[in-house]
Amino acid sequence: MEPFAGVASTSPARNMPGFRRPERSAIMSEGRGGHDALRGLEKRRTRLLAGGGALLLSLLAAAAMAGGRAPAPAGFGVAGEARPGGTSLPLTPALGHVAVTEARGPGRPLVVIDPGHGGGDPGAAGVSGEVREKDLTLLLARELRQRLAASGRVRVALTREGDSGLPLDTRAAIARSLGADLFLSIHADSAANPLARGATVYSLSEVASDADAARFAATESGSAGASGAAEGSVRALLADLAVRDEMNASADFAVRLLGKAPGRIALRPEPHQFAAFRVLRRAEAPAVLFEAGYLSNAEDEAMLRDPDARARMIGALAGAIETEMALARASR
C-alpha cells in the first residue's frame, strides 16, 4: 500500500541508503522469437556501453552465440503479439490466455497487475467479517486497469480475471512471458494490533528493511523454494546484473508512488519497505508489492470499501505508473 510521488527527478531513489543506480533491465522471456531476443540484447548493449562495460559486452556476445536469447524458465512463452485494441494472448496451457488491454498508440509499455490471493486462498479477512483480501485486490486491479485504459498511455494485463488461485511462479511467469515493463502486485494487510493502518509499498531487495518485512516476504513467498539462479558463469552474471537493475528500478518506482500519496492515500509510518519477495524477483521487471491498507483496522476497511476513497487511491497509482513508464520510454 504505497504512496506515490510527484516526479522532479528520473532517479528519486538516488539518495536512498542501500540502493545503487543501475538502469532498467532488458532481460526478455524465452519464446518471443529471434526479433525480441536480439532487441533485448541490443538494449543491454546500449546500457552497458553507457556504463563502460566492455567486458560484459563480450560476455553478452558469448551468451548470444550460445543461445541467442536471455535465460528464462523453460515452458513459458508468448504465442502471439498484441495488436491495437483488446487482445488475448495464448501462453502455455498452464498459463492459458491473458487479455491485454491495448494503448492508443503503438509501442507502448506493458504493465502487468497482479491481484493477490484468489481461489482457495482468501488472504486476510476484514475486521467486519464481510471483506476478503482476494476480492478486494481483484476489485482494485480491475479499477486500476479501467483507469489506465481510459488514458490509453500504457498497455495493461491482469494475472487473474476472476476468483482463481495462481501459484507465485505462475504470476511471475505471466509477466515474463508477456515481456512486462512494470509489475504491480496488489495486496491488503492485516495485523494483530487493530490500530495499525495505512498503505505500504514493498520493493525488491536482497536485504530486508526490517525483521517484519523479512517475515512478510517469507510468508508471501511460501514454500516456493529458491529463486533459481541461472546456470553457468555468463548467465549467472547476466542474471545478477538484471536483479540489481530491477532492485534499483523497483526502489525508484516505490518512491514515485509515495510522492503521489498525499491527499489520496493514507500511509503507515515508514511506508517504503523492502525485502526479497519471490514474485517480484521472478517477474524480471521493475516490480513492487502494494499493500493498500490494513483490513484488520476498521477505518482502513471502510476506506477500501468506499468507491470514492478507492478512486483517489487508483488515481495515485495510475499517475505513478504513467509517469514511470513515460520516463522509462524517454530514456531508451
The answer to whether position 21 is within a domain reads: no
Residue 9, in any domain of the structure: no
The parent domain of residue 47 ranges over: 33-331
**Tell me, what's the pLDDT at 245?**
81
Residue 3 within a domain: no
CA gap 41, 44 in Å, rounded: 5
Q: Is the pLDDT of residue 107 over 80?
A: yes
In this structure, is residue 20 part of a structural domain? no
pLDDT tens track for 211-255: 888 888 887 766 444 444 444 565 545 556 667 788 899 999 999
12 within some domain: no
Instruction: Kindly state the cell numbers that stand for 87.
Output: 487482445
pTM of the model: 0.71
Q: Are 141 and 249 in contact (CB under 8 A)?
A: no
- d(CA 80, CA 100) in angstroms, rounded, equals 11
Cβ(260)–Cβ(10) under 8 Å? no
> CA-to-CA distance for 223 and 64, rounded, in angstroms?
33
Whether residue 326 lies inside any domain: the answer is: yes
Per the structure, the count of domains in the chain is 1
Do the domain assignments include residue 211?
Answer: yes
pLDDT digits (tens, 9 = 90+) for 123-141: 999 999 999 999 999 999 9
SS3 at position 247:
helix
The CATH number for 168's domain is 3.40.630.40
- Residue 246, C-beta contacts closer than 8 angstroms, at least 6 positions apart: 25, 204, 280, 281, 283, 284, 285, 286, 287
